[in-house]
Every structure is written in C-alpha cells, then in structure tokens.
A and B are shown apart, each in its own frame.
Chain A
Amino acid sequence: MNSAWFLPRGNLRGIAVLVLAFLLASPGPSMATREDALIPFENAMIPLQKYSSVRAKALASTYRPELSNLFEHIYYCLPWLAIRKQTLGFPKRVGAQGDDRYLSVMIDVDVNDPDGAFAATPRAHRVSAMLSRYGVHIMRQMVTMTTALSDPNVAGVGVALTWSMPAAPGARPIGETVALFVDTSSLIDFLGGRLPPAEFVNRAKFTFWEGENSAPAVKVDIWEDTFNTTYKLKNYELPKGYKCN
C-alpha cells in the first residue's frame, strides 16, 4: 500500500520540492553560527541556585554577559580547550575560610602528544608548561575581557587545568590536574611585568592532582608562551563575523 494514500498523487511532487527547498535553505549543520555556543555556555556556567552565598549569586548575575564573552573566546578561539561543566563562575577555594570569591574556570586540555614526548618529561615540567601555555593566557583573558576583577567582592582568579596522560594497555587514562588561585593585584602586576614570575608563583596557592587523588607539590616555573595567539588549527572555521584577537 502506498504510504501517502491520503494525499492526491499530484501533490506528492510539490511536497517533495518543498521539503528539498526547506533542507537547502536551512542553515542546519552546514554552517557555524554563534548560536552554537549558547547551550555549551549554559553548561559551562555554575548554575545560580548552586551558589551558597548571596555575594556569589550577585557576582554571577552581574557579570554573566562578560562571562559569556570570555566563554566565547575560549570556545571559538581555543578549540583545543574545553571548559568543564558547571565550573565557570565565582566559587571559593575548597577549604577556605570566609566567603572569598574567585573568578574561576576548570579546563580540559587536549594534548597533542603522539610520540609521548610530553608525557615523558618530569611532572614539574608538565605542570609548568601547562600553566605557562594555558593558565597565563586564560588569566590574561579574564583580566582583559571582564571588569569583574575590579569588583571589591572578587578576591582574585582561580584556574584549574587537566590533561590526560597515556594509559597503560587495558587501563583507563589518568588525568593530571593543577589548580591555581591568586589575588587580583598580584595577577595584574604579574601580567603587567611588574611582578617576576617566581614571586607570582610564591603568592599563588596551588593544588596538584593525579586522577582523583591529590599529588605531591612540585616546583612551578612560568615562562612566556605565545602558542594560543599564534597557532592556527588547520581547516578550522569560525562563525561568520566572529574574530579572535
């Protein structure tokens, strides 16, 4: 039996033409648009109802448009990074007394290390390289793309970076993580070249993780790295009209 038994035969061609025209006219999956970032942005933000203080909720509401811009920069301009779900916002440091709020984000880094050379370097080097390449860039964007750090209710910034290490055969890969919290004035002085990297590291508070467990502290060095502003991903296309600085 013809499945379109309820339609006159003459209409079928017309309907087929309409469907084809709709498919051709629809942007669908064949174009990148800035709307693509809306759902990922909502996923990245810490939901307002999850904050435990009025101060944090107020900060998250006030600076939401700026966090959206920061998110878009990371989402479109740094496609090798992914913001961990519900980590963009104004949390506290775990274990900290009081209600000091930090402009924070947790980021998963795609490591391009086919020959395992990076994984073979000492852990102190891996941590330092990640902070130098991605941590500093993200903190700089936090300073330049938002005004939140001039708010007296914001104590500073917090950035956590996670990357996967090669797994042994049959085992799940282990992610290494470093988290850094630093006060606003130290960060601004460091980015402005008025605070040496070693002093910046002294002032920052670090935690280190291997998989789900805390890991011993390592000596952190920070050096200049221009990867994020110079590297271009082959065949990668930005949404129409969007520019990365």
Chain B
Amino acid sequence: MRTIAIRTALIAGVLFLTGACASSDDWGMWRSHSTHFASGEHGFFSMRNNKDGSNPKVYRSDIEASRQENWWGLYAITVSPSQIFQN
C-alpha cells in the first residue's frame, strides 16, 4: 500500500515538474501541434537522415522551415520594418 502511494506521488511529481514550467501560451501551442512530426518538412528531413544522426545533410530549405515552424518557442518581440523603412 505504501509502495503504491510512493509511486503515485513520484509520478505526480514528475508530471508536475515536466509541465509546470509551461505557460498557457505554451500549452496552447502544443495542443494545436500535437502530431509526431511538426510538419511535412520535418517528416521529410527525418526520413532523409539517419536516425542515429550519422552523416546528416542539412539544406537551406531545412533551416528556413525550422525558422518558420518555431512554434515550440514563442517569437521574439522585435521592431517592425515599417518603423525603419518607408516604402
């Protein structure tokens, strides 16, 4: 009985520690992208390269895709180009 209680407390503790640092925005992002691969590009990149990370090939389009899909982090607050340039 005591072992079950300790195990339950441990599992609850791990769940709390792994999830407690996420904000509501983070959870919202995660809920809306819950598939294994973030995108088709992510899937193709994984299929093209060895699972153990040996001999990887990275193209500029991969870097571009990862930039555009950085929904797992929140975007930085930056100045708008319209505050610098006037067309």
Contacts and interface: CB of A to CB of B under 8 A. Distances in A.
Interface of A: 28-30, 32, 36-37, 40, 46, 50-52, 56, 75-76, 79, 82, 84, 86-87, 89, 91-96, 104, 106, 108, 158, 160, 162, 164, 167, 169-170, 172-175, 177, 179, 207, 209, 211-213, 233, 235-237, 239
Contacts of A207: 84
Given A52-B87, A94-B84, A212 B78 contact: yes
A179 B84 contact: yes
Given A158-B84, A164-B76, 4 more contacts: A36-B61, A169-B21, A177-B78, A212-B77
Given A36-B61, A92-B85, A211 B78 contact: yes
B41 interface: yes
What bracket does the count of chain B residues touching chain A fall in? 20 to 34
B84 A175 contact: no
Contacts of A235: 55-58
Contacts, number: 110
Contacts of B86: 52, 91-96
Interface in B28-87: 41, 44-45, 48, 55-61, 63-64, 67, 74-87
A86 B21 contact: no
Contacts of B57: 235, 237
Interface-central residue, B57, B75, B77, by most chain A CB under 10 Å: B77
